[in-house]
Structure 1
């Protein structure tokens, strides 16, 4: 399931025994209009991914006292993952290709040019989204358990474990034998079918099911509470907590939309159905997957009110005095961090 076609790299390889160093754009064939358009799209997506996620990280770090809850630490971790993946993607797509014919070349082939790092980051992103959905689930539906399971010390252990899980899970990709284009070749159709089903279940179906269960349960709980409190005034904290939960739910929906076409077609391909990796449909699916690296900052900018206020305080100098009075409480207390203590009502 390579987002960078193996055929694109083939002309850059050499049969010489000497080391090779080619810019990614230097090829031995005429670049088609389709390839040119894709390069432009990839460059735009990668650049927006860096810009958007770097902006989110900057706001979260500078205003870290306002984003001190576990929820926001997971959101920051998500932006860090997407930021790094945007850089990795642009480097793979447009960076130089150095492939010596020795053990270093073998290492680069298995851990870099076969996109191991990029896909490991995609898995890390998925694991982080699952953790975010579970944290919101317990905070909303089981606040007492939330205080026990999600203490302030959890992120110090949990976030490194999220990264470790992603890169460990994807190690199989580096262990599979590679062909001349550094793209893993299964070798056996039976193994490919088995791994295709296993990867679909572990890398897509289980995470999607977990997140869907979490957010459906949250929505049902919020509806019940809305009915119980429809005659009572809704506090600012209740509105803020509902807003961060809706924001997380939108992130999940975008994940489903971006990843479902690719996951289903890749499963069908591993089961033996013909699939053309040079088709326009494949290119569209790839672009949609890559768009997932830039959707989250857009969601935060238009939906996450707490982020909007802190963004203004960091970047809108002319708005600081005006917004300062409105955001005083959020600087002292992170609304998402009050779930465990105030959701029991």
Structure 2
């Protein structure tokens, strides 16, 4: 997105030189203020939740925390820009502050640098989920805590690369003329589109598409394995039950004991006598009633297929929950950023863009909303985050005495 969030007039590629300076649009300023305040509160809560407990400081949560911190910083800048606009663009006589304001503030370079950092951090998150799902054996070696911290540092320094180029190509400062901000050259705008939007979206789309396919296959495998385990358990129980029935029936058909006397000698004999179906059924039910409960066969645990241990199962569930949550974050990013990015891309190719039209205003609103929407996604889909927030709410209620 070019550094033109709040503009006026309808502009084409032929009148860039006469393009006016930013003008305040009250609806966008109000949206920017509300979204900024929501983003500050929501992203601060995310940072607190994931940093409060050491058990939650894994690689994925570290990247989520960095994402929340970036969005918190961006939300703060949004609010400060609203204050700057409403106060009438105040100037200062301090030389260093004038330089800082010219190169980083007036053209919103610092704000758009934070947007770029947020985008590239989300790109790293998609790669982290890709390796964790597709190449789990290599994941531990690549995404070590040390490598991840270094990656985060690189993200903060390298992501705003095009903002550095914008500062060099569009801003001039001198004591005589003050701050002179020029229109962004078309080639810079195209590179900006490719670096801050198109390249990250390609990487994120490939990573999350691969992850989604793998999760779908895993769900099918787990579903089939669950069906096989159920069938095996039922088969084992049926076999053991049939064995008991056979033993009981055999004992019923063993016969009766009889004796006879020959002279002074009495002889006992065990004779197998034929039984009717009715008598055999009565005998079997009689033995069932006299069988103690402890003797009732139970399905053998060994009959089930190699089911994972409970701890491993819970870990896999948490990982899958985190992956689906971040997949939702990616989709929301695409929805929020695509209209504005493609609009400015076609502007730099020579097309028109009405800065007073509803499309432009809605596209800017979506971009701003992206800074505060992630905490709501975590609250709806991320189980660890939801449980921790509920725990904090209960703790606060106990503190203030609310039942």
Residue 163 of structure 1 and its aligned partner are, at CA, apart by: 0.7
1:78 is the counterpart of 2:67: yes
Residue 313 of structure 1 and its aligned partner are, at CA, apart by: 2.5
The answer to whether the 8 Å contact 1:247/1:300 transfers is yes
Give the Cα–Cα distance (whole angstroms) in 1 for the partners of residues 350 and 95 of structure 2: 33
1:51 is the counterpart of 2:52: no
Give the Cα–Cα distance (whole angstroms) in 1 for the partners of residues 34 and 70 of structure 2: 18
Tell me which residue corresponds to 1:198: 191
Q: What aligned pairs does 1:209-224 form with structure 2 within 5 A after superposition?
A: 209-224=202-217
* CA deviation vs aligned residue, 1:148-204 (integer Å, no higher than 9, x gap): 111122222121111111234421121123489864423xxxxx3322322222221
Residue 58 of structure 1 and its aligned partner are, at CA, apart by: 1.5
Q: Which runs of 5+ in 2 are unaligned?
A: 10-22, 173-177, 227-306, 399-403
Q: What aligned pairs does 1:119-134 form with structure 2 within 5 A after superposition?
A: 119-134=112-127
The answer to whether the 8 Å contact 1:92/1:113 transfers is no
Q: What aligned pairs does 1:104-143 form with structure 2 within 5 A after superposition?
A: 104=96, 105-143=98-136
1:247 is the counterpart of 2:240: no
Greater gyration radius: 2
Give the Cα–Cα distance (whole angstroms) in 1 for the partners of residues 204 and 145 of structure 2: 23
Residue 100 of structure 1 and its aligned partner are, at CA, apart by: 4.6
1:270 to 348, 351, 354: 348
Query: Relative to 1, partners in 2 of residues 1:182 and 1:43: Cα closer, same or farther, differing over 3 Å?
Result: farther
1:260 to 321, 328, 338: 338
Q: What aligned pairs does 1:62-101 form with structure 2 within 5 A after superposition?
A: 62-63=52-53, 65-95=54-84, 96=87, 97-100=89-92
Q: Which secondary structure state, in structure 2, belongs to the residue aligned with residue 109 of structure 1?
A: helix
The answer to whether the 8 Å contact 2:162/2:192 transfers is no
Q: Which runs of 5+ in 1 are unaligned?
A: 9-26, 187-191, 321-345
Tell me which residue corresponds to 1:289: 367
The answer to whether the 8 Å contact 1:313/1:319 transfers is no
Matched length: 290
Tell me which residue corresponds to 2:3: 2
The answer to whether the 8 Å contact 1:259/1:288 transfers is yes
Query: Relative to 1, partners in 2 of residues 1:272 and 1:164: Cα closer, same or farther, differing over 3 Å?
Result: same
1:36 to 26, 36, 40: 26
Give the Cα–Cα distance (whole angstroms) in 2 for the partners of residues 208 and 6 of structure 1: 26
The answer to whether the 8 Å contact 2:35/2:369 transfers is yes
TM-score, structure 2 as length reference: 0.67
The structure with the largest strand share of the pair is 2
The answer to whether the 8 Å contact 1:53/1:82 transfers is yes
1:185 to 183, 186, 208: 183
Query: Relative to 1, partners in 2 of residues 1:181 and 1:4: Cα closer, same or farther, differing over 3 Å?
Result: farther
* CA deviation vs aligned residue, 1:12-45 (integer Å, no higher than 9, x gap): xxxxxxxxxxxxxxx9xxx8xxx33333222211
Give the Cα–Cα distance (whole angstroms) in 2 for the partners of residues 183 and 284 of structure 1: 26
